[in-house]
């Protein structure tokens, strides 16, 4: 699935772009800092998308599909500091939501640091609602997570 923007496009995340994704993630301290093996692209149920041009990535999103439950878990979403407030995060999220709907999944859920007010507001803007709280979920620094969910109607 491809979504055009004014200066980039969304495309599936492939292993050849992992080094760019890891570099982008390092510029976003609020993003989960994964190793290449944690992405496990093409193995099991993890998939992702990137947005950018041929030279630079503006952002990425990774999800895990839970087929039997007909759900998708948003694992990681990051837009580089120089590319924020331009709609790239929304384009990535809408791509994942379209994939979720196209595959007949009924909901998408995520965890977010309790202190990450900007991310919480972003997800609420996209109709996610707070569904719970996980004490001491994150490390470095230790912090609780809010769980958020969006239930889809197909």
Please identify every residue annotated as catalytic: 111, 123
Say if CB 61 and CB 73 are below 8 A apart: no
Q: Helix %, strand %, coil % for the chain, to 5?
A: 30, 35, 35
3-state DSSP assignment of residue 59: strand
Say if CB 92 and CB 77 are below 8 A apart: yes
Element (H, E) at 150: strand 143-151
């Amino acid at each position: 699935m491809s979504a055009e923007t004014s200066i980039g496009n969304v495309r599936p995340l492939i292993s050849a772009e992992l080094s760019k994704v890891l570099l982008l993630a390092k510029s976003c301290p609020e993003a989960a800092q994964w190793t290449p093996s944690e992405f496990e692209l093409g193995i099991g149920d993890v998939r992702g998308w990137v947005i950018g041009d041929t030279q630079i990535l503006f952002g990425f999103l990774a999800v895990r599909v839970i087929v039997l439950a007909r759900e998708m878990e948003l694992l990681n979403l990051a837009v580089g500091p120089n590319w924020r407030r331009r709609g790239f995060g929304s384009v990535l999220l809408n791509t994942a939501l379209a994939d979720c709907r196209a595959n007949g999944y009924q909901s998408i859920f995520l965890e977010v640091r309790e202190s990450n007010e900007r991310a919480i507001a972003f997800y609420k803007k996209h109709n996610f609602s707070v569904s719970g709280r996980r004490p001491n979920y994150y490390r470095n620094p230790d912090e609780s997570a809010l769980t958020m969910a969006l239930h889809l109607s197909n």
